[in-house]
Structure 1
Amino acid sequence: MGITVTAQALLFDMDGTLVDSTAAVERTWRRFAARHGLDPAAVLAGAHGQRTAETVAAHAPPGTDTAAETAWLVAQDIADTSGTVALPGAAELLAALPRGRWALVTSAGRELAERRMAAAGLPLPDVIVAAEDVRRGKPDPEGYLAAAGRLGVDPRATVVFEDAELGLRAGRAAGGWTVVVGPHGGGAARCRPRITDYRGAACSDSGDALRLTLPTRLPSMVPA
């Protein structure tokens, strides 16, 4: 069983959506927590889907040089991609997409995005909207709107793949048709189509639109 939709472009988050970088992400934030005597579970709970600088600002003790700490964390991330892998079926789906029909919209910096995608064996699209490319991170829709604009499509004609609350909210605010990847059960995931990974997904290009088939059922209610 599956559902088939048409779209002008597909927009993907990266971490947790195309790439499983959980082990590396947790190692980095645990180092940060240890440096500052913080509860690593509390830090990790708020870090997913958020830009590094915003997580640092939310958790660093008063007086911390947040810019320097952010730079240190980014360097740690870039140096440590061990255990980073692609979600099952992701490589096959991306290989089927025309280069000008998909984009990466990530809260990671561009260099880190390039490193993690390479570590996972995934290609990079022509359009990448990374942390440094937006003034406001997710849940603001700026990144998804920018990606749609650079692809030359109406954001309302895109499918957005996300795994986290902030990203799902951003995709919906941009007007995209959001698909939940993985187990996230927050409010923005309610009544949305969901996939575990991309096994069984297929996409073809008619020239006018993409025809995307996903291995999931359409929920009985799909709010706009």
Structure 2
Amino acid sequence: MRRFAAVLLDMDGTLVDSDAAVERAWITWAGEAGVGVDDIRPRMHGNPALTTIRAVRPDLDAPAAERAALRQMELQYADLHDVVPTPGTDDLVTALRELGLPWAVVTSADKQLAAARLGAAGIAPPLLVTVEETPRGKPHPDPYLVAAARLGVDPAACLVVEDSQPGIDAGHAAGCTVAALRGLDADIRLDSLADLARLLRAEA
């Protein structure tokens, strides 16, 4: 760990435990679209809906893929059951406030879904960057580059916190240091966000 100028946090699976809701929506969509659940399961988390749909249904033309993505998002908008903060989120947000560290939520969700899930979890980020605001989503670096620019911070001075490989790849491509949950390989491995709160306080 070192001192960072800003912390950029993924939403789903990182700050917000929405795994069950995400998976319910994708399983329902897969049944409607004729896609095997086993085919889509490895792609359920971390990518924009359109990216996943293009991967599992390459036969769809652009308008059909857009319609499929809209349907998938409709399923997610309607399901906020059991969406809660992940363990350690409250401690981390408190630490960021105490330390005066700028932070942002950077998500592959759109504004409507991000607002709904963050609201359900009781999280009010000072900056929110959603999929509509960048030309390319994760695993491309654009979302994290936009967040760093809006905070007025060099990406190399930012810590990205992620729980999926596309997000980790996006953070590294942006030139950020990346901390990962769920045992994924990154510059820093975290068991929970409480670990990150402790590490940030230790470096203050």
- Give the TM-score of the pair, scaled to structure 1: 0.81
Q: What stretches of structure 1 of length at least 5 have no aligned partner? A: 204-210, 215-224
Matches within 5 A, 1:105-124: 105-123=106-124
* Number of matched pairs: 198
Matches within 5 A, 1:40-51: 40-51=37-48
Distance in structure 2 (CA, Å) of the matches to 1:15 and 1:183 = 16
Compared CA separation, residues 175 and 63, structure 1 to 2 (3 A): closer
Q: Is the 8 A contact 2:83 2:117 kept in 1?
A: yes
Distance in structure 2 (CA, Å) of the matches to 1:163 and 1:202 = 16
Q: What SS class does the counterpart of residue 54 from structure 1 fall into? A: helix
Distance in structure 2 (CA, Å) of the matches to 1:37 and 1:213 = 49
Q: Is the 8 A contact 2:54 2:60 kept in 1?
A: no
Task: Detail structure 1 runs of 4+ shifted over 2 Å in the superposition.
Answer: 60-64, 95-100, 199-203
- Give the TM-score of the pair, scaled to structure 2: 0.89
Distance in structure 2 (CA, Å) of the matches to 1:104 and 1:63 = 31
Of 147-156 and 38-47, more deviation after overlay is shown by 38-47
The code of the aligned residue for 1:117 comes to L
Q: What stretches of structure 2 of length at least 5 have no aligned partner? A: none
- CA displacement at 1:126 relative to structure 2: 2.6
Q: Is the 8 A contact 2:190 2:196 kept in 1?
A: no
Matches within 5 A, 1:184-223: 184=184, 189=185, 192-202=187-197, 212-213=200-201
Of 8-17 and 99-108, more deviation after overlay is shown by 99-108
Q: What SS class does the counterpart of residue 167 from structure 1 fall into? A: helix
RMSD after superposition: 2.0
Q: What SS class does the counterpart of residue 212 from structure 1 fall into? A: helix
Which has more helix, going by share of residues? Answer: 2
Which has more strand, going by share of residues? Answer: 1
- CA displacement at 1:182 relative to structure 2: 1.7
Distance in structure 1 (CA, Å) of the matches to 2:174 and 2:58 = 34
Match of 2:88 in 1: 89
